[in-house]
Chains A and B, each alone.
Chain A
Amino acid sequence: MSSLLDIKNLSCGFGEEVIVKNFNLQLESGTIGCLLGGSGSGKSTVLRVIAGLHPLQSGEIQLLGETIGTVNMQIPPQARSVGMVFQEYALFPHMTVSENIAFGLRHLTTAEKQGTVGKLLDWLSLYELDDRYPDELSGGQQQRVAIARALARKPKLLLMDEPFSNLDLSLRKRLASDLRELLVRENITALVVTHDQNEAFLVADKIGILHQQHLQQWDTPYNLYHEPINKYVAQFIGQGRFVPGKLVSPHSVTTVLGTIEGNRAYPWPVGSEVEVLFRPDDITLSCTATPNCEIIKRSFLGAEILYEVRFTHGLQLYSMLSSSQEYATGQKVEARLKMDHLVLFQ
């Protein structure tokens, strides 16, 4: 199956300044992608380039196999079949909810417009709000109007720039999974930009990490966590600590915590110095007669508790345990490794 969106070797920035380069990404039809990165990483700029609102410096963008943007040829935004939900939504303040949603439907008759708008209002449970003005809506309602407005033209691709940034924390989680449900139900291909990895995990099928001008990894959330491609991604996604070790075979490594066996072979020669990634879920704690570490810090997270432990040889690691087991700070416990795969970096 060919990709709906295909970005090849894209570079973009402001004037001479390059913010993103060698950017490659394929988004399959019906999937939800997410660009994740800190502020200034260029994620929003990439989105604006795809929408045609910002020029690119090199590379090519294809939508459904058709080139929509190169350095020399840029189809204007109004002629691309791309919808966009802006950060803070950019709802037109002088138009009602219905007028906002109908804005892109100028080519339709009044009856057709009403039909489309009505369907969208229904979909997004906005029916009673149709003649309100944007400033009379809550943040979550504004977001739904912005989505409806972008979807009204039936774009091939929906772009969303920080769709949750101006909602309060408690709303974000719920709306993020609501959004995913809606996009999946309507089989909409979308590319979302966010700086919050929790949002990304809730919404996306595939996540791309942007850092220092490059797309570091474009993969499923599971793989990003369990198979990070480099130390940056490993650190950025989830917690973790690196412990020095030595490769004893392509599959195994020895550290101060003993020899660990992995499930895949690393190409480096036996005896190379490596760093081993330890995730909090790689370590379990138990109260035994032979403790090897001490709890130095604990953070209660509800269903789970995150502990930081110090081994007798000075090494410090995280351990995430179910809340049903509880240890006090200063308590001596025994840590055991529970790793089914091995992530090594040179």
Chain B
Amino acid sequence: MVLAPLFFILLGWIQIDVVIWQHLRDTLLSHLLWNTVQLVAGVAIGVLVLGVGLAWAVTQWEFPGRRFYEWALMLPLAMPAYVLAFVYLGLFDYSGPVQGLWRNWVDPDAQLIDVRSTWMVITVLVLVLYPYVYLLSRSAFLMQNRAIYDAAQLLGLSQQQIFWRLALPIARPAVVAGTTLALMETLSDFGTVAIFNYDTFTTAIYKAWFDYFSLSTASQLASLLLLFVLMLLLTERYLRGRTRYYSDPVLHQQRSALNRTQRGILLLFINVILILAFFMPVTQLLIWSMESAQSVFDPSYLNLVARTLWLGVSAVLVTVSAALALAFARRYFNIPIVNHAVTVATLGYALPGSVLAVGIMFVFVTADKISLSVINLFTETSAHSLFMGTVWALLLAYLIRFMAVAYGPLDSGLQKIRFEFAEAAQTLGASRIGVLKEIYLPLLRPGFFTAATLVLVDVMKEMPATLLLRPFGWDTLAVKIYELTSEGEWKLAALPAITLVLVGMIPVYLLMQRAITPTSLTQNHSLSKEPGI
């Protein structure tokens, strides 16, 4: 199922829409490539500096409120990038309050910042994506054996040298994995770049479909994007080398104290990051929501929430049961073909939503053609679509894209259930169904809960695939945000956005509970759901 859309995307090259393609190549392609390269490079540097730096700070130094900041720094994970993007746009745009104030009070002719610049896009993405690097580096640093540092100190290394020559190289696999995750999100991001009018492959794919109605052009663009993803994954594999996660857990490590100035600078920095990435946008969203509540909060809004939930719950049912079947298949038939199948099935997470959507469109359009030609042979009906534009396309997209999200917690839950439990139950007279009902299902409950929550939240936040595949009139909160923000209605978008941020806090909370014990962190599904990481 994962492979079919991929196959069709590549097939798209057979049928080249010459006119559009030439137009694209002449005007857009180099522009798209340059934009993407800039974006990837900028985000990579940003998340590395922020993520590794903050992780080092909270693991090595003791300062007031360290425990609070240690988890608060994960909060931006709850913020969909496109939400932060439109808040920034609303705040800092030429007509927005910040620049307005500046003009009123300081200089009536000044343009303080150009919000629709590359820098702004990169800043927004870095602020939202650095937690990936932060989380993985933090756990890597926590797991490093303190005795290595002591040994290095006795061998004459300074604190700085210890970081560059020991801590960072040892943590490299984790740092690389976190950065790769952040860059995958960057490549597949649609909402942020759309809001900033920054052209990348995802926006081009969207335009190719909605403006030109050219599926083949969309698929060619999708395959180019896929190339980027592939390059990224290969780079990750190369950079990680043969090193494995280094786990030598020494939990009681001593953090060194800082003097007053150092403490002040560090706290200022952390607070600025937190305010910029989380507290300020949330406050702004709350203010906007209050202002617009009367006009937004009506039956149609409830209807929208209900639709989103309905879609989310259906996707949970489909995805979690498929993931459960996979996990059991792997447990009981631990043979290469099953293992490979599982790997492929969980690969969908690496597919950007827009690429996946284009692939599924291709599959469904073809299926439509074939089945309709069969049906039309026998009947006189003039149906023109059986599959395309149905909710099934969307559910399939969610299934493929979020399979790994559901599989991770279920599989790790299942692995904790020893085979002997089932065997013991059998020797005590339980039938196969009895074993499933009385042993597996109750023991898997936490895994189920995590899997369902993560899929639900991810589906609610998902934007590009939903936008491309949704049946007519099937808006979700994320789609609504896109529509409102593309018309500049920041205030109206605030309520759905704050809803999504609140919903997004749930997985962050789950993550934080797990992060209490650093050893379990690397096994965490939502960080290792990426194949090859």
Contacts and interface: CB of A to CB of B under 8 A. Distances in A.
10 contacts: A78-B430, A83-B427, A84-B423, A84-B424, A84-B427, A90-B418, A90-B424, A92-B424, A104-B428, A106-B430
Give the 6 A-B CB pairs with smallest separation, nearest first: A104-B428, A90-B420, A77-B426, A90-B424, A78-B429, A84-B427
A87 B427 CA distance: 14
Interface of B: 418, 420-421, 423-431, 434, 438-439, 442-443
Contacts, number: 62
Interface string A204-235: 00000000000000000000000000000000
A51 B442 CA distance: 25
Nearest to B438: A103
Nearest to A77: B426
Interface in A136-176: 149-150, 152-153
Contact of B428 (A52, A53, A78): A78
A104 B429 contact: yes
A288 to B, nearest CB: 59
A77 B443 contact: no
B420 A86 contact: yes
B372 to A, nearest CB: 49
B442 A94 contact: yes
Nearest to A83: B427
A48 to B, nearest CB: 8
Interface residues of A, number: 27
Contacts of B421: 90, 92
A76 interface: yes
A78 B424 contact: no
A86 B424 contact: yes
Contacts of B438: 103
B443 A149 contact: no
A82 B427 contact: yes
A32 B442 CA distance: 36
A267 interface: no
Contact of B420 (A88, A94, A149): A88
A90 B431 contact: no
B439 A92 contact: yes
A258 interface: no
Contact of B429 (A51, A92, A106): A106
A249 to B, nearest CB: 55
Contacts of B425: 92, 103
A103 B429 CA distance: 9
Contacts of B431: 78
B429 A53 contact: no
A93 interface: yes
A51 B428 CA distance: 11
A78 B427 contact: yes
Interface in A98-156: 103-104, 106-107, 149-150, 152-153
Nearest to B424: A90
Nearest to A78: B429
Contact of B443 (A83, A88, A94, A153): A94
A153 B439 CA distance: 18
A90 B418 CA distance: 8
A152 B424 CA distance: 13
B423 A53 contact: yes
B230 to A, nearest CB: 38
* Most chain A beta-carbon neighbours within 10 Å: one of B431, B438, B443: B438
Nearest to B420: A90
Contacts of A77: 423, 426-427
